[in-house]
Amino acid sequence: MLFLSSLLTLASTASCSAPKIIIDNDWTSVGFVTFLLAVDAGWDVLGLVGDTANSWARQTSLHGLALLEIGNLSCIPVHKGADYPLLNTPTQHQTWELLHGPLPYISSAGAFKPENATAEALGNDPTSGDPTRISRAAFIEGFPNTTLAGETAAAWMVEQVRKYPGQVTIYSGGALTNVALAVRLDPTFASNAKGLVIMGGYLDVMMLQTTGTRLLADINSDINLKVDPEAAKIALTANFPNITIVGNGANQVFPVQEYLDEVYQVETPYTKLFHDHYGTRLPFWDEIAMFAGLYPEHVVNSTSFLVDVDTAWSSPYYGNIMVYQELLMPKVQKLQKAQYINEINQTALLSAMKRSMECPKCATFCK
């Protein structure tokens, strides 16, 4: 109760000098650490955006609302993103899989997995079918009582970057649909942002995908970029001042039960969800990507290169990034240089995550 009552004073008055961030993700019931890390780091979280990737944008946006609500962080607005990728659809993706084989991702194609009413009734987020439907059974964090701030996230993102030129970092932990739409809505969007940080973009992983278990193939493959390859290309070739890609490096740290127990020594709504539902099967993908964007001083190893995305639907690498050195880059495309994160400081990551879920700074974020 002390945690909840202290957060009732939550905020729109982060310091004017605080770095600003928009967090776009395919929110799930345990996806809260990304925005808590930003709050704990003292960043001004302008808002969350829900995108279509793990599930449809309406469902993921409502998860975002619910996760903020349980920590009395509802001062942070949530804007719903586009229902569909720029070109891709469930039928088109499922046809692509018949030609090139299923994605290794355990839940197959996220929102594009065939509709399964039985699974939804048991608590799964919606897949395929009507993108506006909601599965209340999936809200283990509780169904939100608050409402979305808007239904056109890309337009809102453009407004925020115009309002704070050169100050807003865009983080994407899901498909890049909304970022691409913002780039197309305003030709100055990318150049006026501070930078772009994404989770996804695996490199040189074919041997891991073919010689190990399904889980090994899963954690060494993309889903975010492959849901909307065309958007990924638009976003990653836009002229952001800085682009940070966390692909292979996002596999560096896995949760273990001892850490889940350690975090739960301080009980808050977030530590309880984390302890009871996060699990130990998959790496801290989004958390590592966010951490790398917030704390560049804790990036231990990285490289840089020019980046493109395969957008040929006939290609088995549709949605995968292609990387180049300047000597071998395509001559008729204007590609952007990206920083590719290979390793972060694991001890600093785990410490920051634990601290953020205990949430000592939340009480001063909104008031």
Report pLDDT digits (tens) over 40-65: 999 999 999 999 999 999 999 999 99
How many angstroms separate the first and last alpha carbons of the chain?
18
Query: Distance (Å, rounded) from C-alpha 37 to C-alpha 154?
Result: 23
Q: Which two tokens mark 256? A: 């273990």
What pLDDT score was predicted for residue 367?
66
pLDDT in tens, the chain (367 residues): 444 444 434 444 445 689 999 999 999 999 999 999 999 999 999 999 999 999 999 999 999 999 999 999 999 999 999 999 999 999 999 999 999 998 887 655 689 999 999 999 999 999 999 999 999 999 999 999 999 999 999 999 999 999 999 999 999 999 999 999 999 999 999 999 999 999 999 999 989 989 988 889 999 999 999 999 999 999 999 999 999 999 999 999 999 999 999 999 999 999 999 999 999 999 999 999 999 999 999 999 999 999 999 999 999 999 999 999 999 999 999 999 999 999 999 999 999 999 999 987 776 776 6
Residue 288 contacts residue 249 (beta carbons within 8 Å): yes
CATH superfamily, domain at 2-365: Ribonucleoside hydrolase-like (3.90.245.10)
Q: How far is CA 292 from CA 144, 191, 255, in A?
A: 30, 21, 17
Burial level of 342, CB count in 10 A (0-12/13-18/19+)?
middle
Q: Which two tokens mark 162? A: 């115009």
- Buried b / exposed e across 270-283, counting CB within 10 Å, b at 16+? bbebbbeebeeeee
What pLDDT score was predicted for residue 108?
53
Question: Which uninterrupted H or E stretch holds 308?
Answer: strand 299-309
Query: Distance (Å, rounded) from C-alpha 127 to C-alpha 90?
Result: 9
What pLDDT score was predicted for residue 7?
40
3-state SS assignment for residue 261:
helix
For residue 197, which of 29, 40, 38, 13 has the smallest C-alpha distance? 38
Query: Distance (Å, rounded) from C-alpha 247 to C-alpha 285?
Result: 8
What pLDDT score was predicted for residue 13?
44
Residue 348 contacts residue 287 (beta carbons within 8 Å): no
Query: 336-344 and 321-324 as β-strands: parallel, antiparallel, unpaired?
Result: unpaired
**Residue range 246-298, pLDDT digits in tens:** 999 999 999 999 999 999 999 999 999 999 999 999 999 999 999 999 999 99
What pLDDT score was predicted for residue 359?
80
Query: Distance (Å, rounded) from C-alpha 346 to C-alpha 205?
Result: 22
317-322's contacts with Cβ under 8 Å and 24+ in sequence apart are 318/96, 318/100, 318/226, 318/229, 319/222, 319/225, 319/226, 319/227, 319/228, 319/229, 319/232, 320/202, 320/222, 320/225, 320/226, 321/201, 321/202, 321/203, 321/225, 321/232, 321/236, 321/245, 321/247
What pLDDT score was predicted for residue 362?
74
Return the bridge partners of 150, or none.
79
- Buried b / exposed e across 23-46, counting CB within 10 Å, b at 16+? bbbbbbbbbbbbbbbbbbbebbbb
